[in-house]
Amino acid sequence: MTHEAKSQLPPVGVLAAWGRLPVVVAEAMRNSGRRVVCLGVRDHADKADYRDLVDAFHWIGPSQLGTAIRLFRRYGVERATMAGKFHKVRLYEPGAWFRFAPDWTGFKAFYHHFIGHSGDRKDDTLLGTIVDVFANGGITMEPATDFAPGLLVPEGLVAGKPLSAAQEADVAFGWELAREMGRLDVGQSVCVHGRAALAIEAIEGTDLCIKRAGELCRQGGFTVVKVAKPEQDMRFDVPTVGVKTLESMRAAGGRVLAIEADRTILLDAEAFRRFAHKHGLSVIARRESPAQAAA
């Protein structure tokens, strides 16, 4: 596409936190022929990752929502997405509220959650608040997969050998547990072995949940189940797996990864499959739990 044609398309924006996902999304946006404006969350994004992918890059603080809206609007951005992981544990470090330095828009949006204490701090609550603030500022936050639809994993055996009967039983057990944890907005992942829960993800994230499971199950061979929430909002906090997930499993002794088809993002699919095959890991994507399928 010529530079002239590219300049005629409305620009799009990405609010980038930590990890590969916002980089991959920015690349997909660029490949669609649009100008890309990236706002990197300070202490999470790496500016070097976007050097050849975006037309403009600016740093923002995690709660500088007014600044983010003004920057997007400066470039004419009306459609954007949020991508990447925000390290929520930092919300519980001493002085976090002041270190995040909210602007006035962010202060008003988050006051009741961090100072007034009348609102909760669940993922859906905080991320939904961000989406609403952007909407009020004239910017529509859309699912990252609207810009990069090929990231959603299809149903089937993604990598490795088919599961044994015992592994299938662990997937069925873990699936229902993970789904309930999602309904409660606690986390997306559970680690199980012998139909017993080893570890349940909370704010630490999937990788540290897997690490904890390995510490508790020294014999290894456990199963990781990661599913979307029953009422998953695809605009944010969509289950995401990649090579780093498999690296965590291998280090901890995990053997099987079960994910939800069509509602899980798979990053760097070819490298992911190669790593799984090399290290004897099985990855399965289902649209429903084995228990539901058998009913």
Please state, in angstroms and rounded to a whole number, the distance separating the CA atoms of residues 166 and 156. 18
Confidence of residue 176 (pLDDT cuts 50, 70, 90): very high
When pLDDT is cut at 50, 70 and 90, the band that residue 37 belongs to is very high
CATH top-level class for 152-294? alpha beta
Which of 148, 142, 128, 127 has its CA nearest to residue 234?
A: 142
Sign of CA dihedral 234, 236, 237, 241: positive
Mean pLDDT, residues 145-160 taken together: 96
Would you kindly state where each structural domain of the chain is located, as residue ranges?
3-147, 152-294
When the candidates are 3.40.50.20, 3.90.550.10, 3.40.50.300, 3.30.70.2190, the CATH number that belongs to 3-147 is 3.40.50.20
| DSSP strand pairing (36-41 vs 156-159) | unpaired
> Could you tell me what percent of the chain has a pLDDT over 70?
94
Categorize the per-residue pLDDT at 289 as very low, low, confident or very high, splitting at 50, 70 and 90. Answer: low
pTM for the whole structure:
0.91
